[in-house]
Amino acid sequence: MSQVNGYPTARDNLPNSPSLATNRADRRIPPPKQLMPNKPVPPPPTTNAAAGTSQPFDVLIIGSGLAGMSLALRLAENQKVALLTKGELLDAASAWAQGGIAAVLDDSDSAENHIRDTLVAGAGLCNEAAVRFVVENGRRAVEWLVAQGVPFTMDESNHAELHLTREGGHSHRRIVHAADATGRAVQKTLVQQLKSHPNIEVLEHRIAVDLITSKRLGRANENRCYGAYVLDKASGRVVTIDARFTVLATGGAGKVYLYTTNPDVATGDGVAMAWRAGCPVANMEFIQFHPTCLYHPQAKSYLITEAVRGEGGLLKIPGAEERFMLAHDERAELAPRDIVARAIDFEMKKRGLDFVHLDISHKSPEFLKEHFPNIYAKCLSLGIDITREPIPVVPAAHYTCGGVVSDLRGRTDVDNLYAIGEVSCTGLHGANRLASNSLLECLVFSEAVQHDIAAQAAPSFPVLPDWDDSRVTNADEEVIISHNWDELRRFMWDYVGIVRTDKRLERAMHRINLLKSEINDYYASFRVTNDLIELRNLVQTAELIVRSAMARKESRGLHYSLDYPATLPSAIDTVLKP
């Protein structure tokens, strides 16, 4: 068994993960359409319902991004589903995705090409079984969205075919998109169906406090999840949600950094809850920084999609307006995100710049308005006309490539607990995510989880205790939360950003330990609030990121260390166990 810092690797640790040494036919699990079909299940348990604090469901899905929404719709035919979201349904990171969904749809492309591009971007750390599984199910995932009515952009020369664009790291045009706002178009389409489905209860403005596990219940002979304790933000009450199966679809942890393209809800909740429940996490050091976030005081977390570079956008030094990417990589602007982000970071620090320019003004105004209408409108509202002038951009934390270790059916190490989408780590992304593979991952694994849940018998269910806050009081100084939140995000940006050193990581860990002690005392003494829950999760996630980064004594993919600039011959996952 291979190890990093004493921990088994994800390839060894993935439950039911096929061996990479087997032949192709055996290397992947059957695609979802070959798994057991949906079948009716008995009604969910009604334990505690009379007390008014318990709500029973067949499946609890925590998170309302594309992974959570698509799974809810797939399950609802035969299951009673609760879809939990911290804000509104469209607040998830999926709705912010501009670029699109990568899938092999053109005759000039092939699954082998897409697999190869993914493996190259992943810098040797991808689980090829996971890569092949996702890529080979890509076409059906897109077809499912088309069947739901998602208004994808069609090809100008053949209106019966989807328009395909290209992004950094892809050798072919294979990105299906809806202009430059794919995520929002997909989410809006699914929201309409979710809200009208009789078997789906959407629970908005609620945040999970913690998972309810057999360990919490003192059932030593089991390792199972039974649901979650959930804070209703409107009433301030914590309710018990009983569920036969619980799915973490909580997205990433971009808010652990000062600058991020993520929405405010991306606070690492799923990773932190799974860790406390006993799940291993893997490769948390690999945080993808998007190279091009709009730099403007009035533009909060506004992403400039990689498709702008895919369609000919050029990165330049402000003032001189000279290109610089060819000095860093022969693929220039089409290099993978980690290379582009480091190149921008290098040029900014070398020259003392606050930003660099992304220039696509050489394209016709008609082309830009058709392909990037939202970017055009947003920039114009800020006084930037992209048809005439470059866009000021900076890197920002964008995607968490690591996460909760899960297999190709979405299962974690805790029975009846699944993790899908950005919160999970299946080995698909390796050390660096290939552009537009993330929405594809959400769709493929939501189908896999649906079939796995449908194939299982209903588990027995214990009586779940209500949340006990009888020994805590209301907080007296909530300024502690806001101050610690700000401190955490600033030192994570300074010490655990695009370029790292041992000394910076040690400083970050020292501060994390101090914050954890303060926050745990606060959590034990006062009633939970949304901000306290998120801060507790952010600090836990930050600790896992730093511990993972400290364990990796090399530079690979998204993890770059000045102390260890070389890449080791063997690619080994970092897996941490509670």
Q: How confident is the model at residue 161 (pLDDT cuts 50, 70, 90)?
A: confident
Catalytic residue among 11, 174, 244, 337: 337
Q: Say which residue the tokens 């973490």 belong to.
A: 248
Q: Which residues contact 504 (CB under 8 A, 6 or more apart)?
A: 494, 495, 496
Which pLDDT value is given to residue 331?
93
- Residue 463 has a CB neighbour count (10 Å cut-off) of 10
523: its two tokens: 């959590």
* CA dihedral sign, ordered 413, 414, 420, 422: negative
Q: What is the pLDDT of residues 351-375, one digit of tens each?
A: 999 899 999 999 999 999 999 999 9
**pLDDT at position 1, please?**
34
Q: Residues, the chain, total?
A: 578
Name the pLDDT band for 302 (thresholds 50, 70, 90). confident
| Domain definitions of the chain by residue range | 51-285+401-454, 293-396, 479-576
Q: Of 79-83, 316-320, 364-368, 471-475, where does mean pLDDT reach its minimum?
A: 471-475
Fold of 479-576: Methane Monooxygenase Hydroxylase; Chain G, domain 1 (1.20.58)
Lowest mean pLDDT among 328-337, 396-405, 420-429: 328-337
For residue 51, what pLDDT band results from cuts at 50, 70 and 90?
A: very low
- DSSP per residue, 539-555: HHHHHHHHHHHHH--S-
Helix (H, G, I), strand (E, B) or coil at 458: coil
CA-CA distances (angstroms) from residue 206 to 88, 202, 284?
A: 10, 10, 26
Residue 159 has a pLDDT of: 60
25, pLDDT greater than 50: no
Q: What mean pLDDT value characterizes the chain?
A: 87
CA angle centred on 93, ends 89 and 94, rounded to 5°: 80
Q: Are 387 and 361 in contact (CB under 8 A)?
A: yes
CATH architecture of 51-285+401-454: 3-Layer(bba) Sandwich (3.50)
Q: Return the pLDDT at 358.
A: 98
pLDDT, tens digit, 9 for 90 and up, residues 477-527: 778 888 999 999 999 988 999 999 999 999 999 999 999 999 999 999 889
Are 138 and 110 in contact by the 8 Å Cβ rule? The answer is no
**CA separation (Å) from 5 to 9, 155, 313, 546, 575?**
10, 50, 42, 13, 9
- Point out the least confidently predicted range of 9-18, 130-139, 149-158, 434-443: 9-18
Burial annotation 336-352 (CB, 10 A radius, 16+ → b, else e)? bbbbbbbbbbebbeeee
The confidence score (pLDDT) of residue 16 equals 35
**Architecture in CATH of 293-396:** Alpha-Beta Complex (3.90)
Question: Is residue 24 predicted with pLDDT exceeding 70?
Answer: no
Res. 15: pLDDT tops 90: no
Angle at 203 between CA 86 and CA 231, to 5 degrees: 55
Residues 6+ apart with CB under 8 A from 431: 122, 123, 124, 125, 283, 286, 401, 556, 557, 558, 559, 571
Tokens of 578: 């509670």
Find out whether 146 and 186 touch, Cβ atoms under 8 Å: no
**Per-residue confidence (pLDDT) for residue 429, from 0 to 100:** 97
Query: For residue 135, is pLDDT > 70?
Result: yes
Q: Is the predicted pLDDT of residue 452 greater than 90, yes or no?
A: yes
Active site residue 166: no
pTM: 0.84
Least confident of 156-160, 404-408, 443-447: 156-160
For 25, list phi and psi in degrees, rounded to 5: -65, -30
| Side-chain-facing half-sphere of 320: CA atoms under 13 Å | 10
Identify the pLDDT of residue 187.
84
DSSP 213-255: EHHHHT-TT--BEEEEEEEETTTTEEEEEEEEEEEE-----GG
Measured distance CA(500)–CA(520) in Å, rounded: 28
Strand, helix or coil for residue 317: strand
What distance, in Å, lies between the first and last C-alpha atoms of the chain?
A: 19
